Structure 1
Amino acid sequence: MAAIVASVSLSAMLLAAAWGYVQVTPNMKSFSSAIKGGSLASNKEKILYSRSTGPGVITEQWFTGREAMNEDTRIRIYIDGETEASLDFQLFLAHGIGAGEAQEVGNIPWGTNRIAHEADGGIYNTYRIPYAKSLKVTATHPKGGAFWYIIRGVENYPVILGDLQLPANTRLHLYKTVNQVLAPYQFITLANISGNAGALYQVTLSTHSQDYSHLEACFRAIIDGEEMFLSSGTEDFFLSAYYFNRGLYHNDNSGLTFKDKKGSMSAYKFFDNDPMLFTTSLALMWRCGEKINGADGCPNDFPRPSTQDNHRLGDAVGKLQLQNTNTTAYVWVYQW
């Protein structure tokens, strides 16, 4: 009888792994904490939550406060005793929003499986953030003010990406490009990882230019040495088309959170259901505009040393008038 029970238990575990869910174990333990009407002092880092028992996974965070939880809020998450936070981000950009509260107020409420903005300052995520021994979450704001905060998680809980259970030593990393001005046709590497295996999790791109010609550019990746195109244009990468001609959308897989109809936009793409895995290296690249189908263009050629920077290729079909483009990007990657 014991052998039969053991066989059934093993079968259940294998089935759970195959379907991307996890069986409850006796050592799983939930934790939760809330702050009501807290206060941030101007430019002073404040601890929102700390924990020294693990391993565990943050499963949800919620932030609100018109004064202190907006586009100027800096959140830092210190993992396993770090003195410099490996996750260091602006609150809005971490939720795919490249605009400020003044621009966002007309678009809320909206919500998806992973991120939402459902009230003035009311913003949350369900990013799974693993740690081995300890974690500390802090907030900083240039002016300070009142805030509310909730965090939840589970000890001894695995990280699930879509239907994949990631290794126990997985950590979430953030690669940032902040306010980098790209000349027409200039390439930029948004993340460059070597010596690790991992999975791309989320990409947010925020651009400010004179028009939307800079969107005529493919995303490219080099995964374990293999070159590949990830899209036939920028808006295609975010699962839209025609320069986002139907306006804002907020979906589980991707979304457009801001577009001013002049040349600025912000969009996000999740890879839960579209896994991009690497075993030794990942380089993710974008470009400020692109020649269509010609030499060194999209989707024909990868960057070459002679065209890596500001080499002008001539106008694309439609006589694009490319301008310098201010570019910010957040790339979230699970690594193990």
Structure 2
Amino acid sequence: FDPAWAMYWQIIIVNMAITVGLILLYDVFRIPSTSAPVQHHHHHHQHHHHNDTPAHHTDAPALTVAQEPQAPPLPAKRVVPTPPAVRSLPASDRPSAVARPGVGHIKPFTISAAQVKFGHHEKTLLFYNISREFDRACLTHWWIGGKTTTMFAMLSVYVDGETEPSIYEKPLQSVGVTKTSVPFAIRQMGMHSQHTSVYSNIRIPFQRSIRITIKLSNAVSNLKKRHEVFYTFSGVEGLTANVGSVDLPPTARLRVLSYWSWIDPLKFVDLFTVQGRSGVFFLSMMHMQSSNPYFLEGCMRLNVDGKRRLLSSGTEDYFLSSFYFDAGTFSSSVAGVLQWKRDCPQGRCSLTGYRFHEDELIFFNDSLKMTWRNGERNDTQGFKCRDDMEDDAKGRTIGSLDGRTGPSRTLLNGHFWLYTW
């Protein structure tokens, strides 16, 4: 066997193998001819959309059944479609639910300023009109700072052209604190400094406009004439107020009702009364002062649409504590006591507390009244918080020694926040 012929046949076999391999590779990676496009069968389905947002369809062909897979063509230059302009829904179609990301059409706004001077005349800090495409909005957050602003200034909130403010509060009072309270912070409100700044996330709904002003309290006369305020106000157009998990009507308005008085022992007092309106009780803030702690025995009572009910079996119980706040001060998103002096230094027991009713919903259709009593009696059966005054008169005053002490005169300064419509 001639070795030269063997080498010759090896070269031929190798070349044939290479040729076959190239043919196979070309068949796999070849580009289909544009003169004979692959035919695709489109199955058209009618789509029903339940909202006003147009559906977006791509140009990709629908899949076909039992179609032999083809090699994909080279990708063409990608063209990103321009999204349609966002538009608002007609007023009748707008959702009444609280707007969340991806739901409805909303428009946030924020106004901030520093070192704005003010005095004893009203200074406008915020004046905001709703855009034409909206029929509702909420102020969702505000922060105010200044050395004397929070203690001596008065904030007024005018909604939808009001001539009398819906809310008229000192900044400190609006978050439930006094000048002796310690810093605290919860989701709804807080104070992160030594009485020089406060914030609130309580929603203030409006339908056309909102105006917020500031001025020095009329009771302040010995301070310098002009002061400075730093502030931020934020809100969202298209947003609806809510209490807990319940969305309120667009016409809901936030009202703050105030009470201030010295109350005699065992006397009943109506802290606030609402007549001829529907609404929901949202928040209460109270500051109390007395010479002994027995005023805490007083029960909270409600009259909802003419029906009486017991709200709490004692004052500290109302703030979700017990036994005269034996654990001291506390704060949470439901209730808090920011100041409590149980030992009554110089004969002064002092209490500052707040209570939200976001989860314990108290709705009313026509009327709501809240009543407190300065102290309580046990009836002849040994029970308290009863409404039988004849039996109550025969009982024993709680906290008394042989019936001779009992509660003393008590100062109550309360602020009660309700949404009404």
| Fold shared per TM-score above 0.5 | yes
Counterpart of 1:282 (choices 365, 368, 377) is: 368
Q: Distance in 1 between matches of 2:157 and 2:394?
A: 41
Indicate if the aligned counterparts of 2:271 and 2:369 stay in contact, CA closer than 8 A.
Answer: yes
TM-score of the aligned structures, taking structure 2 as reference length: 0.69
Q: Which amino acid is 1:39 matched to? A: K
Q: Distance in 1 between matches of 2:380 and 2:147?
A: 49
Q: Which runs of 5+ in 2 are unaligned?
A: 1-45, 53-94
Aligned to 1:128: 203
Counterpart of 2:350 (choices 252, 264, 272) is: 264
Change (3 A) 1:90 1:295: farther
Deviations 1:133-181 (A, max 9, x none): 1111011123342221110001121111110011111111111002x01
Say which SS state the counterpart of residue 93 (structure 1) adopts: helix
Q: Distance in 2 between matches of 1:251 and 1:236?
A: 15
Aligned to 1:12: none
The structure with more strand, counted as a fraction of residues = 1
Matched, 1:273 2:359: yes
Indicate if the aligned counterparts of 2:150 and 2:170 stay in contact, CA closer than 8 A.
Answer: no
Name which of structure 1's ranges 233-242 and 289-298 shifts more when overlaid on structure 2: 289-298
Say which SS state the counterpart of residue 230 (structure 1) adopts: strand
Runs of 4+ residues over 4 Å off in structure 1: 4-7, 20-26, 293-297, 311-314
Aligned to 1:181: 262
Matched, 1:3 2:48: yes
Aligned to 1:36: 114
Q: Which runs of 5+ in 1 are unaligned?
A: 8-15
Change (3 A) 1:303 1:205: farther
Aligned to 1:52: 129
Say which SS state the counterpart of residue 158 (structure 2) adopts: strand
Indicate if the aligned counterparts of 1:296 and 1:303 stay in contact, CA closer than 8 A.
Answer: no
Q: Distance in 2 between matches of 1:314 and 1:66?
A: 49
Superposed displacement of residue 195, structure 1: 1.4
Question: Rg: which structure is higher?
Answer: 2
Indicate if the aligned counterparts of 2:380 and 2:394 stay in contact, CA closer than 8 A.
Answer: no
Indicate if the aligned counterparts of 2:96 and 2:249 stay in contact, CA closer than 8 A.
Answer: no
Indicate if the aligned counterparts of 1:69 and 1:147 stay in contact, CA closer than 8 A.
Answer: no
Superposed displacement of residue 278, structure 1: 1.0
Aligned to 1:11: none
- The structure whose RCO (Cα within 8 Å, separation 6+) is larger is 1
Counterpart of 2:285 (choices 195, 204, 227) is: 204
Aligned to 1:86: 166
Change (3 A) 1:312 1:257: farther
Counterpart of 2:229 (choices 135, 142, 147) is: 147
The aligned runs of 1:48-127 (5 Å cut-off) are 48-53=125-130, 55-70=136-151, 72-97=152-177, 99-100=178-179, 103-104=180-181, 107-108=182-183, 110-120=184-194, 121-127=196-202
Indicate if the aligned counterparts of 1:220 and 1:285 stay in contact, CA closer than 8 A.
Answer: yes
Deviations 1:175-229 (A, max 9, x none): 1002x01000111111211211111000111111101111101100011111100
Number of aligned residues: 316
Say which SS state the counterpart of residue 236 (structure 1) adopts: helix
Matched, 1:190 2:276: no
Aligned to 1:156: 238
Matched, 1:298 2:384: yes
Superposed displacement of residue 40, structure 1: 2.0
Change (3 A) 1:115 1:313: farther
Aligned to 1:253: 334
Q: Distance in 1 between matches of 2:116 and 2:256?
A: 27
Q: Distance in 2 between matches of 1:324 and 1:217?
A: 13
Q: Which amino acid is 1:174 matched to? A: V
Change (3 A) 1:6 1:37: closer
Indicate if the aligned counterparts of 2:300 and 2:311 stay in contact, CA closer than 8 A.
Answer: yes
Say which SS state the counterpart of residue 158 (structure 1) adopts: coil
Aligned to 2:88: none
Indicate if the aligned counterparts of 1:21 and 1:160 stay in contact, CA closer than 8 A.
Answer: no
